A and B are shown apart, each in its own frame.
Chain A
Amino acid sequence: MPEPGPAAPAGAAGTLVAQEPLRVMVIETEEGMRDGMRRILARRGLNARAVGDGEAALRMLAESPADVALVDISLPEIDGVSLTEQIARRFEGRIVVVITSALASVESAVEVTRRGAFDFLVKPFTPDNLICVVERAGQQWRLIREREKYLSELAGERNLSHQMINSMHEGVVVLNIRREPVLVNPRAEHFLGKRFRDGMSLPDLFPDLDAAAAVEAVIDSAPDHPECRLVQLSVGEGRLQVSISPLLRDGESGGAIVILRDVTETWRAEQDRNRFVSMVAHELKSPLSAIINYLNVILSGMFDDNMPKVREMLERCKVRGEALLDLVRDLLYINSREAGKVDRTIEPLDLRTVIQSQLDFFKVQADKRKIVLLLESPDACPLSADRGDLDRIFMNLISNGIKYNREKGSLTVRITDADASWEVAVIDTGIGMSEGERASIFQEFYRVKNHKTAGITGTGLGLATVRRVLAGYGGRITVQSQPDAGSTFTVVLPKHPA
């Protein structure tokens, strides 16, 4: 009858069960016994090998390990006891050893189980005895494997959560029930500007009283009604959002988990927006106050006998009302621009043509004050830009050049080729401005206010808008001016936007 070889595939039973057949190594001095045992096991569908002495067994196991080893206690050279010990040591308990011994040496067999063998089998035994012991050993082997796998997964998960916490964009701080920080990830250390050390206290980590009080409140909150807190914290120039939730252990309060998020940018944007809204409110209310005052004076009838005065006041109402409308338009434009709702169409244009048509538009206003408009330019000034943007830039500058000019003055627009850019100087002969005024004119809502500018209306948004539009092209604007010596605004506009 052909026998399956030691490394041959397992028998019928092995192919039917999903798991790999148990690998059994028989280490037995007596040849007949050895073969018999191997055959019984192989017939059972197990992956059985057999060998006659300890040295050979260790060699074979090193090449291809077994799950269960049946060790004859009375082996030559290396005896069963020390072989058991060696197997346990070399394979770190991963091979389950069963000692086989004659009745005479049962006592020593029992002794060996104390030194790492799992079970023992007394010779002579029936095939059923052998199968029964080996299967029990197999179960033991599977338990060991599962435990090992579980432990390694656990260690892996711990390692994983540690790595996750350390690589988080948010800061993480864990405090125990005594309010002592027990975990501070590198991000939290960075945010708080502090190194974690043992024995740190809550105020060490959060000197801010509000934040510390919020942590205390969360830790002290009832476990059945756990409380979460959200506070903001200023750290240096920055702003942190601190979210605190309770750490529960088996339903009991066990401390707090603090998540820190850098909200500096949104916080600043919010502050800018608030300031802008305040400024807008101020700018809207000022002209309305003036208009309402005039109307009240007129309606009171106190100037009914002085129609020219009434007319003068109504004229001013109209001027201020129109300026208010301009302001609302500018605000809507800035808003849509900020929201990205303005579609730019970059197309080939001639700067000279664009500026000439703006000058044509302003001719009526300039004539009223006898201001001469001049254009000095090369014949053609090609560039790529959005027509609406160019109009907005030069409309504002030319309009200012007329408004802040003197009667019978001049406004010159000079275009010069500066290789990759066009330089456009808008030169007026007007009231000019001081150094302090020059520094502020590109800020939203800033308007030069003095005797000379009294009565000139404006939104305070024109130059700020020019600057913003230019920034979108990688361009810039500068100003040179002295009081009463006119102003020169110089625009540098790249021929092809970045």
Chain B
Amino acid sequence: MDIVGFFGKKLEEKTGIKEIACKGMIRLAFRDAGIDSSTFKIDEYKKVFSKNLKIRFEKSGIDNPNALADYMVSELIKNQGLFTMSA
């Protein structure tokens, strides 16, 4: 299961930006954090979404980067069961 792909799709639904770019954005945030994006650890995802992804959103100039990062964290909390179920 491609968990980054799952959250990339969520980001696409929220922003209307192509899925491939959304997935790429999440991967870039993982790279910035020095964390392997194949992780199953929800706390690592949370750290990346709330910090590194937010910084990436800010750098990109997209509207409401904070709200967008918060949305990703809320989707993460909502779908946390997926980490265990897809392991």
* Co-complex (A, B): no
B-side residues, CB < 8 A to A, are none
> Which residues of A are in contact with B by a Cβ distance under 8 Å?
none
